[in-house]
Amino acid sequence: MMSWSACCGLAATGLATSASDAPDVGAQWLPWMLLAAIVLAGPCVVTWLHHRHQARCRGLEGELTEVRGMLDAMDIAVLSVDREGVVRYINAAARDLLQLPSQPLSGQTLSDLSVDEAVSTFVKEARARDGAHRDERALAGNPGCEVVMLSEPVHSAAAGDIVLVLDDVTRLRRLESVRSDFAANVSHELRTPITAIQGYAELLVEQPGPADHAEVILRNARRLSNIIEDLLALARLEDSAQAQALVLSSVAIHDLLDAVARASEEEAQQEGVSLSVDCDDLLVCNGSRPLLEQAIGNLVTNAIRYGGGGSTVKLEARRVDPDLAAINVIDHGPGISDEHHARVFERFYRIDRGRSRQVGGTGLGLAIVKHIALAHGGSVSLSATPGGGCTFSLLLPLDDDTSE
């Protein structure tokens, strides 16, 4: 098949030759010659236009595939619906957020898919505002899930088509709540010893007081110092640069538990609590021994103080996976209600404020345990001890040489 330029050239050459060969015929044959040229060039023009159209379609398909790929890779949910509520497009994040099946959903309406009522209501409100709308709502079908919803009209499409963007801000709102609680709690925790120090110091200024006044001041000053030290420790653990710079070495877990038990023995005797250690042999982890002793020591101290006199606190370590060990601190005290399990590792979170102050502590011990575990690539959890009490489990990766 000739190209468009070749056909045009051939027709022009023919016309020129005919005109020179038969000058006397002249104009009477010119329309027929033009018609012949068009007939000859027509198929070439159609073919050329067809090829251009195919190339343009391939380009558009490639662009569309690229855009869909980018939308599917986004963490933010995106979907578009027409004026009848029919889904024209939905990305993977939107499927996960709205708990929709993975099969193609185009052509189905929001009501067919039983989309969360909060989304359906938002779409109706957006249509009443010509497509542009913004709000934050909780998903009824996903308790605790907060979503910022944004809609915009699709001006180049049929009237009534809108694009929805749903941003899951549940974690952000949770962090904001934790930050707010932290500010309130730290203010309360610092205000109590400061008030005591100020009051007793004023008594000593006005008149010489008994020795217990000075003891109260000293005790609360130490409490303030401990809170500040624990806050600094938490800041160091949360600093990614400092956490990565930890000096790690092979730590024998049995020796680690024995050292913590010896360090806690005096307080355990004062509380009438007996300590026991049960550890599988040859368990070795790669970590910072001082930090691991601090984490396990915090757990043991809590177990001694809250477990009750005459009870037993058990330290045990077991291999739970080929490359994972669980260090458990088990007590048989009054236990912790399930409603508090998810929050006990927050800063300054106290289950019984009066009891916590009576036994001492800064309210940061379990938060420090959590961040020490994270710094070692592990985790910490709380469960109820059968028969009453608590079991805190510290999961740590084992050293490569002992995990085989």
Q: CA 216 to CA 76: how far, in whole Å? A: 55
Residue type, 249: S
Q: CA 197 to CA 219: how far, in whole Å? A: 9
319 and 218, same domain (yes or no): yes
Phi and psi torsions of 223, nearest 5°: -65, -45
58 and 145, same domain (yes or no): no
In a domain, 403, yes or no: no
In a domain, 48, yes or no: yes
**How far is CA 370 from each of CA 58, 363, 379, rounded to the nearest angstrom?**
54, 13, 7
12 and 114, same domain (yes or no): no
197 and 272, same domain (yes or no): yes
CATH classification at residue 182: 3.30.565.10
Report whether 193 contacts 222 (CB < 8 A). no
Let me know if 226 is exposed, middle or buried by CB neighbors in 10 A (0-12, 13-18, 19+): middle
Range of the domain at 14: 4-70
Residue ending a domain, choose from 17, 47, 70: 70
Q: CA 110 to CA 88: how far, in whole Å? A: 11
162 and 182, same domain (yes or no): no
230 and 351, same domain (yes or no): yes
Residue ending a domain, choose from 120, 147, 168: 168
Torsional sign, CA 39, 42, 44, 45: positive
In a domain, 195, yes or no: yes
pLDDT in tens, 329-372: 998 888 887 777 878 888 777 776 555 555 556 678 888 899 88
In a domain, 402, yes or no: no
pLDDT at site 380: 92
In a domain, 99, yes or no: yes
Of 383 and 204, the one with more pLDDT: 383
In a domain, 58, yes or no: yes
Q: How many domains are contained in the chain?
A: 3
Report whether 316 contacts 277 (CB < 8 A). yes
63 and 85, same domain (yes or no): no
Q: CA 268 to CA 110: how far, in whole Å? A: 62
In a domain, 134, yes or no: yes
Alpha helices in 207-252, H assignment, sequence order = 211-238, 240-244
Residue entry with tokens 């051939």? 10
Q: Which residues pair with 80 in a beta bridge?
A: 89, 163
Residue entry with tokens 């005459």? 310
228 and 312, same domain (yes or no): yes
259 and 372, same domain (yes or no): yes
Residue entry with tokens 């033009």? 34
pLDDT in tens, 115-128: 888 888 888 888 88
Residue ending a domain, choose from 70, 88, 104: 70
Other CB atoms within 10 Å distance of the CB of residue 193: 21
Q: Is 376 annotated as catalytic?
A: no
162 and 256, same domain (yes or no): no
Residue 12: pLDDT above 50? no
CATH classification at residue 142: 3.30.450.20
pLDDT in tens, 55-79: 777 776 776 666 666 666 677 888 8
145 and 197, same domain (yes or no): no
153 and 189, same domain (yes or no): no
Q: For Cα atoms 305, 343, 267, give the angle at the middle one, nearest 5 degrees.
A: 10
Torsional sign, CA 372, 374, 375, 376: positive
Instruction: Indicate the pLDDT class of residue 3, thresholds 50, 70 and 90.
Output: very low
In a domain, 352, yes or no: yes
Of 394 and 186, the one with more pLDDT: 394
Those residues whose C-beta lies under 8 Å from the C-beta of residue 224, and which sit 6 or more positions away, are 190, 193, 194, 197
User: In a 3-state reduction of DSSP, which class is residue 287?
Assistant: strand
pTM equals 0.52
Packed helices 253-271 and 289-307: angle between N→C axes, nearest 10 degrees? 30
Other CB atoms within 10 Å distance of the CB of residue 310: 10
- Single out the catalytic residue among 155, 188, 254, 376: 188
